Amino acid sequence: MKYGSIILEKKEYVYLKRILNISGYAGDLETQKCLMSLANELKTAHIVDEDEMPKDVIRFNSTVTLVLENGVEKVLQLVIPSERDIKQSKISVLTPMGSALIGYSVDDTVQWDFPSGKQNFSIINVVQDCTYRETEITEQFKT
């Protein structure tokens, strides 16, 4: 791991903690296991201010290029749950893949216990959405 632990921006960390607290009602056991793994990673996460956030770390609205262990390359955008749209490759942080991505960075190889079993993948590129706004996270607190 490039930075030693996952890195999260403060507001995103608070938001993640909140949605993890209410997501215990996830329908299937395998998704719940992935979210519990994420909750455990949050315990050792490095929390930083917006201006200290490295540009190559996956966060909300980041577009990520990754290579699966079978060599398949995927491009995904990590989003808040209400913005998910699989047809546009927008995955929620509350999905197994979304929970595996948040806080990791370019050149990290991640091993994650997905519903289909343990898998490794490498992160080869991260692009931050220049339209990211704090209000997207703030608006979620109002609902």
Is-contact 17 97, C-beta < 8 A?
Answer: no
pLDDT by 10s per residue, the chain, length 143: 888 999 999 999 999 998 888 766 556 777 777 788 888 989 999 999 999 999 999 999 999 999 998 899 999 999 998 899 999 999 999 888 898 899 999 999 998 777 778 889 999 999 998 654 454 554 554 44
Between CA 95 and CA 127 the distance in angstroms is 20
Q: Which residues lie below 8 Å from residue 96, measured CB to CB, with a gap of 6+? A: 30, 31, 34, 112, 114, 115
> Which residue segments constitute the domains of the chain, with CATH numbers given?
7-130 (3.10.50.30)
Q: Exposure string (b/e) for 84-98, b if CB count within 10 Å is 16 or more?
A: beeeeebbbbbbbbb
Cα angle value 55/87/64 (rounded, 5°):
15
